Structure 1
Amino acid sequence: MFSAVRQASRSGSYALRAVRTATPAARLGRPTTFVRTLITKKYTEDHEAVVYDDQTQIGTVSITDYAQSSLGDVVYVELPQEGSEISQGDQIGAVESVKAASDIFAPVSGTVQEVNATLNDQPGLLNKSPEEKGWLCKVKLSNPSELEKLMTEEEYKKHCESDH
């Protein structure tokens, strides 16, 4: 019985090799164009995060998981206006929870391209998925070098540990 299974699996592997070698040589030699996109995630001392895509120059702003857990159940989110110009450090919105209210500050300068309108009806997304589905706004950065002033993930973790 086992020898028949072994034989069947061997014959299957020969068939796969035959298919692989039958690939036209022209397809293998075709040059491929790769576009390198650098995604950078940085943090503020006020517990905002920004994920920056250097190809689109768009930064997606959110609050951190640490911030949402400190706030408790979020019941209301105030977002910036689409098209508004913001500067690093400006207040761009607010989050209200059952425990507290907290201002949201711009981690970077630029133009607000899009806001997460889903948060108007579902503010609890900030608790469930603060840095993914619960993002706040997308900003076209006017000065990407501002990212250098923000903290890396390691620096942010140390900052949170020192808050306790």
Structure 2
Amino acid sequence: MPYYLEHAFTGAKYYMLKGINTLGRHSMCTCPLYYDYISRYHASITVTNERIYVKALDALNGLYLNFMEERLQDYLEEIFIGDVLIFGCQIRVNEMSQSPHTFGVFMVNFQELEPMDSSDQNDPSEPSKTSESSDSSDSSDSSKPSKPSKSSEPSKSSDQDESYDSDVMEEVPPLPAPEW
């Protein structure tokens, strides 16, 4: 189940890969976000098979969950589909309509992927098929639904398609030293 953050004002979607995703303005982040009040390394979102967690990193202006007054801290906090993450500024629910669209306000969501028909799997005329999808069909049970085409989801490495165990909850690697 691919999780994503949907910007509350523009509807832009930012997909989260399994494992640790770093969010912020820096180009080294796995999910760069260019909105007002977002730090270079603002937060991390960790996605496992069934759960999703958020952790504040160097969020100078704070990270807020569901319009609460307290900032999220630097430990993993489980979040759920429908939760609202606010990057860098505290907003109340009744202030949303007056807030600039450049603020980092996102709703946690997911996208159900529909399995492809098994008859489409062997159709060589379909351009969206990759050699990876045909290779994976050889080793999998034919009763399982096939993987969706890679063109409908963000690119993933083959390691990210595998299931994850408890070691995915490891700490975020240290941030690089400032370039002063």
Same fold (TM over 0.5): no
**Structure label with greater radius of gyration:** 1
TM-score for the superposition, normalised by structure 2? 0.23
| Richer in strand (by share) | 1
